[in-house]
Structure 1
């Protein structure tokens, strides 16, 4: 609600914002400034197992119906909507805040993406938040299901190596003894 008072000169009786206008005009307007929409505490992205994980937290969700998430490869152009249907508010019209997460399973590794969050109120009005960015690499971890340090063929080979080494030493010993006796 707003009240506007217009004067063509300084008021004759002084300034009285709520009273009678003797030399001016008073008009009242309902401008609909009731609080609507979402107050965000955080909107961020992190890489989890090579996938961008989008997280947002609200302080309040007055008149909020839900959210849409958008992605683009250009920081000025959200070209892909990630959710097929609106992500519903956890507390439609609530003065309370909530935490949300969304994994971008369609993101390609090593590509810079920009993300926007759109909140939609019950009247269909929208507000866009962002962009934020994320570039995730593919996971590089290697997992061994079974690691064995020994094997049967290695045991046989090492046995032959020991026998060969003993044979060479024995031959050398015999050769040295023959040289001394002659």
Structure 2
């Protein structure tokens, strides 16, 4: 069941902890969007490019929705302590990979990012008291799980293709 964003959210008076957690989720969505943009720019596999492009749009929309909730509450969506994060370090590490390993390495790193973000969504959702916000976070977490599933499927497909190609090369 999709949450109708046209309905009014009971956002006024969000407590400081809820605001902090929502700001963190905005930041995580922005960072993962950036990671997917890097992946899209580096992708040599057309399916990975498609998944990355889709994830960029989804993460942008998720961040915008959370920003709107914070804005309706009269709160900034900016997190004060923007430091280099594990997501940043992971993506920069991927840039040093050889082109032959790039698709699988990108997928592995994106899966790790999805796992971190999914865990954060789960933790925040358990802390939030408002039913509307919990429903929204549940729906956003499901999108993250779907992206994770798509990445796992693509990784398996790439591994199977590589195994078939290796078998052909060994028989020659």
Q: Give the TM interval when normalised to the shorter protein.
A: under 0.3
**Greater CA radius of gyration, 1 or 2?**
1
Higher relative contact order (CA 8 A, sep 6+): 2
Higher helix share: 2
